A and B are shown apart, each in its own frame.
Chain A
Amino acid sequence: MSAKLTDRSQQDFGLSPEVACQVRDLNVTYRVDGRELSALREVSLDIRQGQITAVIGESGSGKSTLALALMNAVSSPGRIASGRVTYRGLGEVTGMRGEELRRIRGKAISMVFQASQNSMNPLTRIGAQLLDLARSHDLPNPRAVLREAGDLASRMSLDADRVLTSYQHQLSGGMRQRVGIIFGLVLKPEILLMDEPTTALDVLSQSSVLEIVRSIQRERQLTTVLITHDMGVVAELADRVVVLYAGRVVEEASTAELLRHPRHPYTRSLIQAIPRLTGDPGDAKALEGQPPSLASVPNQGCVFRERCPYRMDVCETILPSFRFDGDGEHRFACHYEEARHD
């Protein structure tokens, strides 16, 4: 098994050099009351090597499902109905099962969850859990993991000895979230997935967690996927942004480009809905309506049309396809924008 993995680590599996992970035509469904409901529809994207890619969307947009699907960890009643997720050096993961998956999770691809305390054992000390993690991946020297965790803790301005000998309930929310990040980084993964890493934190803890992620990412050139609903976090951290609505990608661009020139009406409303410290408070507009639930997503036409101020007849029936802009670096799917610029 390990020989097979070592061999793979040198392979690119057909990915171009700047791409660390390629997602193609990914469909994920949940079985509810005998019906198959789509949570992700035909999602295709390239996650770039050494960059922070943000996936932004509201509750129910499928962003957390996407994070799970990237690790082939969608659990029942959900399943990956079709599509491929291919990593450089690992291969295609949607076809992997059992032991093969367990080995890459946490080691090659690791995940930091929204409420980190829920992914820790309340009954054992943080240090003991780190040792468990090391042993479960058959590391020759589990103690080295503790040293690495201690170094990371100090970098995050935590008292390493105190943190490693604590139980999770003895730490504050901001500290627990940092410990969650230590768990995510301690085995030196190539890809780090973060699902809402700062949502439960106040602004000061949030900004220090973001600073930590930023500096470690730079230093290790770590490929990072950041799942969030907060454009402020995206603007602080991400290189690229993928906008997800009702299980579909509706726009993708570099962060600066997306903030300055959003093309999809949904993206524009998301940016306008951010409470800001400057400017006329009247300029900010709440996004009208509610995000659709799995059961109410329209099966044809544009998924955003119910809340769209520019809705046209064609939006009812035909799914808008992607248009590319800015040397192909910016893509969006909107009939109105297409018509406006043609």
Chain B
Amino acid sequence: MIEVKEITKIYAATGGMLGQKPVKALRGVSLTLADGEAISLIGESGCGKTTLGRIIAGLEASTSGDLVFDGTALSTLSPRERHAKFQQVQLIQQDPYGALNPARPLGEALADPLRLQAKRLGKDASWVQMRAKELLQLVGLDPANTLYKYPHNLSGGQRQRFVIARALTVEPKVLIADEAVSMIDVSLRLGILSLLSDLRSRLGISVVFITHDVAAARYVAPKGMVCVIYRGEIVEYGATDAIIASPIHPYTQALLSAMPVLRGLEEPGPDRYIPAQDLDLRLDDEGGCLFRARCRFATDRCAQEHPPLVTVDEGRRLHSCFYPEARHVVAVPIEGASL
């Protein structure tokens, strides 16, 4: 189990469009990831979801706050011990083209971490071979047809499968997939999403799925949780289905409204609304609701008070809006128009 406790991250900005002001990428985020659970972090570019993923994976240090792995606060550990803990967490990045060395055969790229693992477990070279084949089969690649190839011989979808296989070499407990399908053809996305879902149910790996596409989150974990992040703050949290069917926070509603409507098969949802304004990180919203500049329901109160995260639905749902109202924004399938 991983507990994220009041994590903040502040980047010191120098010049440029953001001026000299430091950027608050995360403003005190807390959440819990149980073993074998899936949680999706959702928000637009610049909301801090990637930073949070990188902090959980140990690739970046937080400014304040702590991570607790199975009851052990990482701040109490030595760097060496912390490093060992972070090995349980593996990050799958967005770009499968940049994640692999183009000059090395795929078999080598997979054997390297496996050899280290073999040393740790006291296994021999034949184990490395066997494990490489096992892992490739697990992610749906044909070992005989993959090991001798180079990254450029694979399609985007195959590359991402390979990157996942490589992440599994160290037998992680948690996979963090950061926009893992956004650079892959829509036609092949579903395959990667169901692979992540499979790994979770078959190997008991927890999945943190970072995306701006709520529909994709639904295929990784229909029974999982969704955590909506806006400007470094959790604004809504709940079960995936509940969030899709009845989003409470206007920002969640905006994200869901922006999903394309398959006109002809679907009608736009009755409450669909997309804010005209862009995310502007230069705005200083200290003191009030961070979303108020783009919110059509904002009042004076939203400018003066910061809405706290409150619990509703007997603890199953969290939101931070002074005027909570569930709205129906997602597209409605047209009767009889399905394939």
Interface of A toward B, CB cutoff 8 Å? 58-60, 157, 166, 170-175, 201-208, 210-211, 229-233, 235-236, 255-260, 262, 268-279, 281, 283-287, 290-291
Contacts and interface: CB of A to CB of B under 8 A. Distances in A.
B263 A255 contact: yes
B278 A275 contact: no
Interface in B18-52: 44-46
Nearest to A231: B186
Nearest to A166: B17
B77 interface: no
B262 A277 contact: no
A270 B257 CA distance: 22
A286 B261 CA distance: 20
B116 interface: no
A255 B264 contact: yes
A263 to B, nearest CB: 12
Contact of A260 (B16, B193, B261, B264): B264
B190 interface: yes
A203 B157 contact: no
B215 A290 contact: no
Given A204-B44, A207-B274, 17 more contacts: A60-B155, A170-B17, A172-B278, A203-B258, A204-B279, A231-B186, A233-B260, A256-B263, A257-B264, A259-B263, A259-B264, A270-B186, A277-B330, A284-B219, A287-B188, A287-B191, A290-B157
Interface in B297-339: 330-333, 337-339
A277 B214 contact: yes
6 contacts: A204-B254, A260-B264, A278-B330, A278-B332, A281-B219, A286-B188
A317 B262 CA distance: 36
Nearest to A254: B264
B244 interface: yes
A202 B244 contact: no
B158 interface: yes
B293 to A, nearest CB: 12
Given A157-B277, A206-B258, A277-B256, A286 B213 contact: no
Interface string B160-201: 000000000000000000000000011111110110000000
A1 to B, nearest CB: 43
B332 to A, nearest CB: 7
Interface of B: 16-17, 44-46, 155-158, 185-191, 193-194, 212-216, 218-219, 222, 244, 254-266, 274-279, 330-333, 337-339
B258 A236 contact: no
Contacts of B45: 172-174, 201-202, 205
Contacts of A202: 44-45, 212
Given A203-B259, A271-B339, A284 B190 contact: yes
A229 B73 CA distance: 45
Contact of B331 (A172, A278, A284): A278
Nearest to B214: A277
B187 A275 contact: no
B260 A235 contact: yes
B215 A276 contact: yes
Contacts of B256: 277
B264 A256 contact: yes
Nearest to A237: B260
B44 to A, nearest CB: 4
Contact of B44 (A157, A203, A279, A283): A203
A236 B190 contact: no
Contacts of A255: 263-264
A260 B44 contact: no
B213 A203 contact: yes
B46 A275 contact: no
Contacts of B260: 206-207, 210, 230, 232-233, 235-236
B262 A274 contact: yes
A157 B263 contact: no
A45 to B, nearest CB: 21
Contacts of B339: 262, 268, 271-272
Contacts of A201: 45
A173 B188 CA distance: 24
Given A203-B212, A208-B274, A255-B263, A229 B44 contact: no
Given A204-B254, A276-B215, A290-B157, A232 B259 contact: yes
Contacts of B16: 170
A281 B222 contact: yes
Given A231-B186, A275-B219, A278-B333, A205 B193 contact: no
Nearest to B222: A281
Contacts of B266: 278
Given A272-B339, A290-B155, A236 B187 contact: no
A266 to B, nearest CB: 9
A207 B275 CA distance: 10
B330 A235 contact: no
A262 B339 CA distance: 8
Contacts of A272: 339
A128 to B, nearest CB: 18
Contact of A208 (B187, B218, B278): B278
B276 A286 contact: no
Nearest to A260: B264
A286 B161 CA distance: 14
Contact of B190 (A229, A231, A275, A291): A275
A56 B223 CA distance: 32
Nearest to A175: B278
A229 B212 contact: no
A285 B263 contact: no
Contacts of A208: 274, 276, 278
Contact of A157 (B155, B276, B337): B276
Contacts of B276: 157, 208
Contacts of A172: 45-46, 278-279
Given A260-B264, A275-B189, A59 B156 contact: yes
A268 B339 CA distance: 8
Contact of A279 (B155, B158, B191, B333): B333
Contacts of A235: 260-265
